[in-house]
Amino acid sequence: MSVVVCDGVTKVYRRARRAALVQCSFAAEPGEILGLVGPNGAGKSTLLGLLAGELAVSAGTAVVDGHRAGTREARRAAGYAADPPLAPPELTGMEWLTYLASHRARSPRERLALVREAVELGELEDFASRRTGAYSRGMMQRLALGAARVTAGTVLLLDEVLNGIDPLVQRRVRGRVAALARGGRLIILASHDLGTVERLATRVLVLCRGRVAADVSTADLVSARVVEIAVTGSGVGAVRRLLDRFPSATRTETGVAVPLERALTVEHVLAACGELRIAVGASRVRYRALEDILVAADGDR
């Protein structure tokens, strides 16, 4: 059973007179790690804000754990790490987590256990006793992750929460987030760091200009391959000819990337280069990356 369901969700910011989300529909199951990617202003943070109950839906329906998003029950189901992360600067990290845990726990013992889990998830031991007003960006991100864990029922909404964390800690934190998903929680992670999303997510929604432009599973992503052609000499005209020949191809820094879809092979692509009299400097085959999907979805060829 889906734990988050969006059906035709639209969000219009009245003051800006701008639709941040348009007819956005998807469903997500417990155990999934759903990545949200897209350019700035694509609607990723707006979508998370709507699911967290921070924003009101303008049209359509968003349901979290069986309750309409924004209701008290839905807010209790979702742990939310906002971007930028928020915590009262007067409190220490430990006091902040204890406060949040007091609202979810049924006993002091359970509260303590929740706080311990949050400290472990964000690796907060070294600075949890310091006031949050003195935290660096990375420390705040880690605290926000812990706070989202403490307040989460079945869903964790993480907005750019792994950015700014050093690579070694990030690697361990990714493992713990994945373990949370394996434990039956739904994780929705919005990020510009496509590498992190590729490593962590089981499924990715690509948002462009407020619409769901692509919905792919990470397994499908890595099973598909792409041939990259580096063009020498003839430059822009050659790239243009290749893009016209292969409609699903996208531009790269040195040439084009052509997805090897259906019966298309590397030999076919190289033969086409010969037919078009394009000088190929180098070619390589790699797995398809999230960036290929994002660029294709955005129409930025």
Residues of the shown chain interacting with other proteins in the complex, contacts defined by CB under 8 A: 53-54, 56-61, 63, 66-68, 70-72, 75-76, 80, 82, 86-91, 95, 98-100, 102-103, 105-108, 111, 131, 147, 151
Distance CA 52, CA 287 (A): 35
Distance CA 225, CA 202 (A): 18
Establish how many alpha carbons lie within 13 A of residue 191's alpha carbon, considering only the half-sphere containing its beta carbon. 27
Which residue from 140, 32, 125 is spatially nearest to 91, judged by alpha carbons? 140
**Burial of 42: CB neighbours in 10 Å, binned 0-12, 13-18, 19+:** buried
CB of 180 to other proteins, least distance (A): 18
> How far lies 147's CA from each of 120, 170, 224, 301, in Å?
11, 17, 37, 40
> Which of residues 60 and 138 has its CB atom nearest to other proteins in the complex?
60
> Which of residues 131 and 301 has its CB atom nearest to other proteins in the complex?
131
> Which of residues 39 and 60 has its CB atom nearest to other proteins in the complex?
60
CB of 269 to other proteins, least distance (A): 48
> Which of residues 90 and 275 has its CB atom nearest to other proteins in the complex?
90
> Which of residues 68 and 137 has its CB atom nearest to other proteins in the complex?
68
- 218-236 burial, b for 16+ CB within 10 Å, e for fewer? beebeeebbbbbebeeeee
**Amino acid type, 126:** D
Q: Is the dihedral of CA 294, 296, 298, 300 positive or negative?
A: positive
Establish how many alpha carbons lie within 13 A of residue 278's alpha carbon, considering only the half-sphere containing its beta carbon. 26
> How far lies 203's CA from each of 27, 33, 186, 209, in Å?
11, 6, 11, 20
CB of 254 to other proteins, least distance (A): 46
SS3 per residue for 114-181: HHHHHHHHHCCCCCCCCEHHHCCHHHHHHHHHHHHHHHCCCEEEEECCCCCCCHHHHHHHHHHHHHHH
CB of 158 to other proteins, least distance (A): 14
CB of 84 to other proteins, least distance (A): 11
> Which of residues 80 and 246 has its CB atom nearest to other proteins in the complex?
80
CB of 82 to other proteins, least distance (A): 8
> Which of residues 157 and 257 has its CB atom nearest to other proteins in the complex?
157
CB of 250 to other proteins, least distance (A): 38
φ and ψ of 179, to 5 deg: -65, -35
> Which of residues 116 and 240 has its CB atom nearest to other proteins in the complex?
116
CB of 1 to other proteins, least distance (A): 12
